[in-house]
Amino acid sequence: MDTESMKELAVALAIGLGALGPGIGVGLIGKGAMEAMGRNPEASGKIQTAMILAIAFAEAIAIYALVVALILKFV
């Protein structure tokens, strides 16, 4: 394999593996929030606020992986 092929493989692995964890995390966050709202519907406002904040933090990690992939691709 030449250098360019290795670079493309590194980019694919960086974004692929970097998005895998946050994707699973967002699913688990949503599952937990839905279960909590099902058990206590009166607290759904507080649960939804915390859920959205947690999803934003999880997605920030995916954005870091995207930035690393772009740096690998263009530098």
Contacts of residue 56, defined as CB under 8 A and 6 or more positions apart, other chains included, come to none
Give the pLDDT confidence score for residue 29 in this predicted structure.
Answer: 97
Give the CATH number for residue 64: 1.20.20.10
Q: How many domains does the chain have?
A: 1
75: confidence class by pLDDT, cuts 50, 70, 90: confident
Range of the domain at 36: 3-74
3-class SS of residue 3:
helix
How many residues make up the chain in this entry?
75
pLDDT in tens, 5-60: 999 999 999 999 999 999 999 999 999 999 999 999 999 999 999 999 999 999 99
